[in-house]
A and B are shown apart, each in its own frame.
Chain A
Amino acid sequence: MPTAIINNQPLELKPGEQLNCIQAAQRIGYEIPSYCWHPALSVVASCRMCLVEVGDTKPDGTVVMQPKLVPGCQTPVKEGTVVIADSEKVKAAQKATLEYLLLNHPLDCPTCDQAGECFLQDYSYKYGRGYSRLQEPKNIKPDKDHIGENITLFTDRCIMCTRCVRFTREVSGTSELQVVSRGSAEQIDIFPGIPCDNKLAGNVVDLCPVGALCSKDFLYQQRVWWLKTTKSVCPGCSTGCSVDVDQNEDQLYRLTPRSNPMSQGDFMCDEGRFGWKYIHSDQRLTFPARRKNGEVRTRDWDDIIPSLQKALTKAVAKAPEKCAAVFSPWMTVEEAYMLASYLRGLSPKVKLALGPVKTVGEDDTYPKDFYGKPMEPVKFTIRAEKAPNRRGVQMVLNHFAGAATTLGDLAADGAAGKLEAIYLVGGDPTGWLEPQQATGLGKAALVILQDFMPSAISDRADFMLTGGSFAERDGSFVNYKGLAQEIGRAIRGPDGTRPDGRILWDLTGRRGLFNAAAVRKEMAEKIPAFAAFAQGSLSDFGVLLNEHGAPEPHVVVKA
């Protein structure tokens, strides 16, 4: 096995693996500081922060070091490469580079959004000097609020790493951002009148290692050290971007992409990034209800769950083939499994249907050229299917031989008086039910609705179960290619709402507290397609399900 030496420690290289010095050092747990290098972008080696000593082992075993320091990002590590990243020479270079970077930096950390997660702060603390020797006035460059609809540029904080410029050229392809002027007068700017408003623009804020590019949405909202982060998945489309949900005191402040090579890579789209605002909408259904003849009898969960169990049992006993449930592609697989197994436990004749799956346009791939024409190779896709878990719910229904009917058919059944009980699960914040469907379904004798936003049927429901948004639930979503990823409960929903998993856990008569991992273990035993869930917890990157014999079912989506 080829071996390289990093800081006097041997590192075994896997065959065919191409690592630079920064990545190789990461393997032995050593951080080589860098600004301009990013694994998803091209190498420019311009910040000069990652300078290291590099040498080669000659066939006779002697090591010949290069006389100069070389950028670690640009230098490949091969068999016999020797990297020294902690020598006095390297430290002196890091110290000098940091002094240069801070020379014209305004040091306005107290009012800077990036403070607390800033690489200038971190590296200055670790490698820099405590003071600047500059006695002259600093360069002052104008702030550029016009740079984009969602982003703003604090020009004088910029260290010219050009990550943002390379992102717009290489990933979004739209090339709005550029470097203008020369030398220390250099600035990031846009062409007048063409702001950076592409659908991936928000990523430049995450890419910015300092506080130069800021999100207008998050600007001055929170100090980042107050935020608590939960690993989750963006529910905006079937790409299923891994995200970090940042919240403080049950108020969600931002979503940022979490790097996941199995899923989307390093980025996310602005639709997902800023599309979570409905979570704190004042329209939300905040209290459960049991109604009789349209009148609310109780809003007490402890009454509603047992009453619902009784009502459902009674309806199924009366006419099982006239009982049905509509599963939402916004449910987690755990929720879908609990509901399906419960209803089928009451009677195998209960109909299970997949609710409407919204699609908007066609899959939107990036990079695009200036005129909007997609280019190869594709680096990011915003998918047309605007639901996070159509595939996972479908897999559950396939197991229970459900999805034989559709919401439309059920609505027709309802209108014809052929429905005894209907269990509807919503969850799509953009709405999912058409008025005539609501009228049809509303004619069922027993209407149960589990949702968190009002819809055409929420006032008609005999049982109104107020669930939660994706940020309030535990569970897992299966994305377009069968990758199951966990979503985590980041915040508590409004009083009176309960995470859907908990509602179903109680409804199905399980004891103790809702535990998604326990449900997954149970699914792994019962459903072969979910055998990969046997561990209970999925790793940070998720688990691919289609490796385990679950072919992608062909679904014709009917609304």
Chain B
Amino acid sequence: MPSFEPVLLARIAKPNSAKLETYRADGGYEALKKALAMTPVDVTTLVKDSVLRGRGGAGFPAGLKWTFLPKDHPGPIYLCVNADESEPGTFNNRILMELDPHQLIEGIAIACYAIKSEKAYLYLRYEYGRSYRVLDAAIKECYAAGLLGKNILGTGFNLDIVLHRGAAAYICGEETGLIESLEGKRAWPRIKPPFPAIEGLFRKPTIVNNVETLCCVTHILNRGSEWFKSIGVPPDPANPRDLGSYGPKLYCISGHVNKPGCVELPLGVTARELIDEHAGGVWKGRKAKAVVPGGISMGFLSADELDTPLDFNGPGKAGCLGLGTAAVVVVDDQTSMVDVLYNCCRFMSHESCGQCTPCREGTSWMTKILERIRAGHGKMEDLDTLTEVAGSMGIIPGTTICGLSDGAAWPVKNAIKKFRGDFEEYISSGRRSVTSAQELMAGAH
């Protein structure tokens, strides 16, 4: 693969990268000027032609989503920026927001112009305090410089950005959960249809896009859709529904590696390449046992599957749910999958919003079973129970209102299928990861 020049992360190492001054010196807000000289329809078409797929997890084409808005709607139309980045192992949005906020704000402005929105809500994860301060300062700079507010750059385009901090809940990253939370309600995802593009925030047409997606929009405007499509992998001819995985992607690498971090690479890099070339290999000279391709709700790749390309198509072929957020978590060969899976289930059980019965009860039940196995009281039939519970909690397309249930069930199904030996060995050897009831309880929250 030819060497790749980072685009999204190009500026993060520069001094004062978050300042408007430096951003403009690097050619910032030129893309916005370019967009404002075009018609909104042309901007949408450009993004649609680039086949930019959403970076938030589902991989839905962003430009296509914009076209779902009702035609000639009197407004208001809203843009919600999903910055509630809470999938375990994911921290790419945080880097973008903390170190290059204007790239995001420019992307927001372009997107709002394209969808004829005059108000954007940036829903920020509560824990990202620094992101909040940086974004807040950047937005104020923009207002002062006439890049936000009324009559932007003298074109008559108005835009306000509202920076909103969530209250620390994973479910607020689900787009309708985010909308409910923004409206001041409990973040219970809505039943669909109607989809947000038809009836979203405050019952108005709403587009929800991820931070990284919007950052990509800035560069697509600057460099064109052909440039974007020159990066990444074309559609898989064997899969007529694959649209291709184009563009640069931020991969977050964490877990048992020597050099965890976030790297920008063209879509389609393999897990092995990521670990060995970009993360300094598995730590302590060990081997990888399992790799999470994109956040724990996507499932696991086994050691044999490390050559899977991490694009929108690849992990699915290896039995995972998808690329997700491209948050790669590496598990070394000294770690029991029982403990890994327990950690996943505990998280999902804690974060289930509790609206749908299968998710509310299933996540906590699976956690209880794994707690028992880890306390040394596991039985072989527990594995079948776990598989069956995970099976009835949801299959894609799921049987619950949102995808959390599927995401909670998938790692269980995946782990028991791919690493059954680990579980059987753990149960039959009478191993325990917790030694007392107190520890068991302490670990539960």
B37 contacts the other chain (CB 8 A): no
Residues of B within 8 A of A133 (CB): 385
Contact for B354 among A43, A51, A179, CB less than 8 A:
A179
Residues of B within 8 A of A184 (CB): 349, 352, 354, 360-361, 363-364
Q: Which of A8-64 contact B (CB under 8 A)?
A: 43-49, 51
Contact for A100 among B353, B358, B401, CB less than 8 A:
B358
Rounded to whole angstroms, the CA-CA distance of A46 and B402 in the bound complex is 10
Residues of B within 8 A of A47 (CB): 356-357
**Interface contact A135-B372, CB-CB below 8 Å:** yes
**Residues on B facing A (Cβ under 8 Å):** 169, 186, 188, 191, 349-358, 360-365, 368-369, 371-372, 385, 392, 395, 397-401
Evaluate whether A183 and B360 lie within 8 angstroms (CB atoms) in the complex, with A51-B399, A133-B385, A136-B368 already known: yes
A104 contacts the other chain (CB 8 A): yes
Given contacts A44-B355, A48-B400, 8 further A-B contacts (CB under 8 A): A43-B191, A47-B356, A97-B358, A100-B361, A103-B365, A104-B364, A136-B372, A184-B349
Residues of B within 8 A of A134 (CB): 365, 368
Rounded to whole angstroms, the CA-CA distance of A67 and B397 in the bound complex is 8
Evaluate whether A46 and B351 lie within 8 angstroms (CB atoms) in the complex, with A103-B365, A183-B364 already known: no
Most buried by A among B188, B350, B385, B392: B392
**Interface contact A160-B360, CB-CB below 8 Å:** yes
Rounded to whole angstroms, the CA-CA distance of A96 and B336 in the bound complex is 29
Distance to closest chain B CB from A155 (angstroms): 14
Distance to closest chain B CB from A42 (angstroms): 10
A554 contacts the other chain (CB 8 A): no
Distance to closest chain B CB from A112 (angstroms): 20
**Interface contact B401-A45, CB-CB below 8 Å:** yes
- Total interface residues on A, CB under 8 Å, equals 36
**Interface contact B355-A46, CB-CB below 8 Å:** yes
**Interface contact A103-B358, CB-CB below 8 Å:** no
Rounded to whole angstroms, the CA-CA distance of A48 and B362 in the bound complex is 13
Residues of B within 8 A of A135 (CB): 369, 372
Task: Specify the chain A residue showing the minimal Cβ separation from B371.
Answer: A136
**Interface contact A182-B352, CB-CB below 8 Å:** yes
Task: Specify the chain B residue showing the minimal Cβ separation from A181.
Answer: B354
Rounded to whole angstroms, the CA-CA distance of A100 and B394 in the bound complex is 13
Residues of B within 8 A of A96 (CB): 358, 392
Evaluate whether A48 and B363 lie within 8 angstroms (CB atoms) in the complex, with A69-B399, A92-B392, A182-B351 already known: no
Residues of A within 8 A of B361 (CB): 100-101, 103-104, 184
**Interface contact B355-A68, CB-CB below 8 Å:** no
Task: Specify the chain B residue showing the minimal Cβ separation from A92.
Answer: B392
Q: Which 3 A-B pairs have the closest CB atoms?
A: A184-B364, A96-B392, A100-B361
Contact digits for A60-98, partner B, Cβ 8 Å, 1 yes 0 no? 000000011101001000000000000000001100110
Residues of A within 8 A of B369 (CB): 135-136
Residues of B within 8 A of A178 (CB): 186
Distance to closest chain A CB from B89 (angstroms): 21
Residues of B within 8 A of A67 (CB): 397
Residues of B within 8 A of A139 (CB): 364
Contact for A182 among B350, B368, B385, B399, CB less than 8 A:
B350
A395 contacts the other chain (CB 8 A): no
Evaluate whether A183 and B350 lie within 8 angstroms (CB atoms) in the complex, with A46-B356, A69-B399 already known: yes
A159 contacts the other chain (CB 8 A): yes
Q: Which of A99-128 contact B (CB under 8 A)?
A: 100-101, 103-104
A186 contacts the other chain (CB 8 A): yes
Most buried by A among B169, B186, B354: B354
Rounded to whole angstroms, the CA-CA distance of A97 and B389 in the bound complex is 10
Residues of B within 8 A of A48 (CB): 356-358, 399-400
Rounded to whole angstroms, the CA-CA distance of A49 and B364 in the bound complex is 19
Task: Specify the chain A residue showing the minimal Cβ separation from B381.
Answer: A133
Task: Specify the chain B residue showing the minimal Cβ separation from A35.
Answer: B357
Residues of A within 8 A of B395 (CB): 68
Rounded to whole angstroms, the CA-CA distance of A363 and B414 in the bound complex is 61
Residues of A within 8 A of B351 (CB): 182-183
Task: Specify the chain B residue showing the minimal Cβ separation from A184.
Answer: B364
Rounded to whole angstroms, the CA-CA distance of A270 and B358 in the bound complex is 35
Q: Which of A402-428 contact B (CB under 8 A)?
A: none
Distance to closest chain B CB from A53 (angstroms): 12
Rounded to whole angstroms, the CA-CA distance of A133 and B387 in the bound complex is 13
Rounded to whole angstroms, the CA-CA distance of A160 and B398 in the bound complex is 20
Task: Specify the chain A residue showing the minimal Cβ separation from B372.
Answer: A136
**Interface contact A186-B360, CB-CB below 8 Å:** yes
Rounded to whole angstroms, the CA-CA distance of A396 and B401 in the bound complex is 56
Residues of A within 8 A of B364 (CB): 104, 139, 183-184
Residues of A within 8 A of B186 (CB): 178-179
Distance to closest chain A CB from B225 (angstroms): 33
Task: Specify the chain B residue showing the minimal Cβ separation from A71.
Answer: B191
Task: Specify the chain B residue showing the minimal Cβ separation from A69.
Answer: B399
